[in-house]
Structure 1
């Protein structure tokens, strides 16, 4: 949305953050660089008349390292950006929380996953609430209001079938999906300018954030591994194959994958339903966090997709899945209720791209298709899941790039992909 792209915090996250500040003593905003974490902190700073302690600034970082206790004492909320640069802050905050566990004392923002920091396990476990700040959703980019589709499903609201066909064209989808949701990239006026930004962004994350986390013996292998993972995004993770493709040992590739996860470039989507029988696969899928980064790595542009080259269309199919999974997971991240996520796959190869399980055990299934038609064979994964779950499968949805909304005889909804962000009053 225009507001998000000019620095205004996304409204959904602002509302979630405001609620949690009244309940939790410490919040951690986790997410990739440049997605809006600093914007959220500065919005809070203005609201509470506080300043932001920016540990990305070398002088500030040195001062905080010299005396972390000085910077974490006093009335809240104390706002700290890129806290991971000074891990001793966590121990100092723990000492403060031992004395006072009042809500709203600290809000920390970082571009490294909190759970990957070695100090995290000892310092604030049980005292910190982690909120993911991910790339912008299409609704935020468009400024669309209303209740998101995923929230309506999770809340048990009946999703009515619209009678007006979607007007989003194939070219519109290609443009949105290859652009991704990184605010700074979206502000770039041209494809070439955006391409330079993605190149510089990945260099920055690898050179600064990854190397700060761990000593990497083969630094040049990191972008190679990321590129291979990008080409396999939306597929079952085969770390042995990925390691072989870049000439690495499997153990090294696994360690490097963890680093790429830690800096929010890559997501492992776990297998779901492994207790439903021995014929359910247990391997995770791999997804890139942002579809724009994935498209850049694969050199997929709207123009290339429009040529209908078979190889490009295969890559585009995986890109569409990664894009849709990201949109759904971002909506899930705004929910206060716990939701388990994963993918479902049988040994016969029947799969469901994304499964959400509510805390009462009810399940919501999403299958994602890049094409404009959905036929009975496309429901094989949903059928296999329904056979195992029965009435626990609350809703099954196929998202596709066609225009019409309809329902199959078994109750499966077929919705245009833009239903994820279309405004609903």
Structure 2
């Protein structure tokens, strides 16, 4: 299969030009190996042979020798390589030496030791609709962040198509697969999390039934600010016991393999007496995992617009996070104590920002527009934070257009880098 161009490619190329190496992190099967190989001149997979793990401890220089950039895939299997790579970068005094790729953080995260000036950390996620060629890409996120005054475009996907894409997910291996095959893939992905990925990454064998219930609880609460207490009650709903400390340990384990991908709250200066809420929002590596964990197919999802709305919001967050990587953008959520919330705040490295509210259908656009204008006009201190570069409502509808207020309506399947 030909390489699928990713929004993160420009970032990786830039880091390799400026720094000694790049650390690619993200969930298993999100495309780290393919992307690493795309940028590498030589490569090595540490899971190819047990002998390589022995060499990593006894003679790491042998593994680091090769044309550069050199990809070391699944490097977390031999965490001591981190220091060997750092020292090699120092000794060579050249940029673009190594690409490390891993689908889990080492149990004792050795990357906390300084990589400043040597390694750039790049987070990879599953494919956005634009990257998997499901979007017309007529509305550029970068152009929105540059303040483009109006947008236009037409979605390639119907409501039912969007439901099918939510169930398929953004895994590169599934771009050409049927939705039925994708459902099997996603169910097996969840099983591997319980049976192999988490035990291998953490070194702790946790209760598989309880991990399964935890992922189901996260899936039922996707795109919400459910507390540990809420999740614990959900996990214990079948009569078993579960306390918040146990749930926290399971969330940490899921985070270690990048399966749990919560969205942080936005910190910004306010002009009103409102107080910001700091609770993070629940998201998974891909919203398709939520559908798989709950056994929901595209038809059932399409017939449940309430739950579909939460899943669709997670799709939007996934896509905006992936596309914002191209300009080193970060994505947050806004919510204050008055109940005003905005689903996605995109912030650039220079502090400029834009806001997206998510609505599955056209009937929610008026309320979303009002929330966005209230955020701009009544909440954010724009003297300090600056005026937003754009305000937009992301939908699963057909047409992209700009309303008289300046708020854009952007079907997700028109959004591109």
1:130 match: 121
1:189 match: 178
2:227 match: 238
How far off its partner does 1:204 sit?
2.4
Quote the Cα distance in structure 2 between the aligned partners of 1:77 and 1:397.
Answer: 40
How far off its partner does 1:194 sit?
2.5
Greater shift after overlay, 199-208 or 75-84?
199-208
2:207 match: 219
2:143 match: 152
CA offsets, 1:289-334, max 9 Å, x none?
212212212322221134x3xxx32211100000011000000112
> How many corresponding residue pairs?
403
RMSD of the alignment, in Å? 2.6
Question: Would the aligned equivalents of 1:31 and 1:110 in 2 still touch at CA under 8 Å?
Answer: yes
How far off its partner does 1:13 sit?
3.6
Quote the Cα distance in structure 2 between the aligned partners of 1:24 and 1:148.
Answer: 32
SS in 1 for 2:350: coil
Equivalences for 1:88-167 in 2 at 5 Å? 88-113=80-105, 117-142=108-133, 149-154=140-145, 156-158=146-148, 160-162=150-152, 166=155
Quote the Cα distance in structure 2 between the aligned partners of 1:145 and 1:415.
Answer: 11
Match of 1:381 among 371, 378, 381: 371
Provide TM-score, normalisation by structure 1. Answer: 0.86
SS in 2 for 1:56: helix
Match of 2:414 among 399, 408, 419: 419
Quote the Cα distance in structure 1 between the aligned partners of 2:179 and 2:134.
Answer: 22
| Residue 288 of structure 2 is aligned to residue 297 of structure 1 | no
Quote the Cα distance in structure 2 between the aligned partners of 1:363 and 1:402.
Answer: 25
Unaligned ranges ≥5, structure 1? 1-5
User: CA, structure 1 residues 107+86, in 2 after alignment: closer, same or farther (shift >3 Å)?
Assistant: same
How far off its partner does 1:18 sit?
2.7
1:366 match: 356
Unaligned ranges ≥5, structure 2? 236-240
Question: Would the aligned equivalents of 1:55 and 1:80 in 2 still touch at CA under 8 Å?
Answer: yes
User: CA, structure 1 residues 11+320, in 2 after alignment: closer, same or farther (shift >3 Å)?
Assistant: closer
Equivalences for 1:20-419 in 2 at 5 Å? 20-45=15-40, 48=41, 50=42, 52-59=43-50, 60-73=52-65, 76-113=68-105, 117-142=108-133, 149-154=140-145, 156-158=146-148, 160-162=150-152, 166=155, 168-191=157-180, 193-216=181-204, 218-220=206-208, 221-246=210-235, 247-273=241-267, 275-276=269-270, 279-306=275-302, 308=303, 312-335=304-327, 338-386=328-376, 387-389=378-380, 390=382, 392-419=387-414
Provide TM-score, normalisation by structure 2. Answer: 0.88
CA offsets, 1:18-47, max 9 Å, x none?
3332211010111111222211233344xx
Question: Would the aligned equivalents of 1:274 and 1:281 in 2 still touch at CA under 8 Å?
Answer: no
How far off its partner does 1:125 sit?
4.3
1:3 match: none
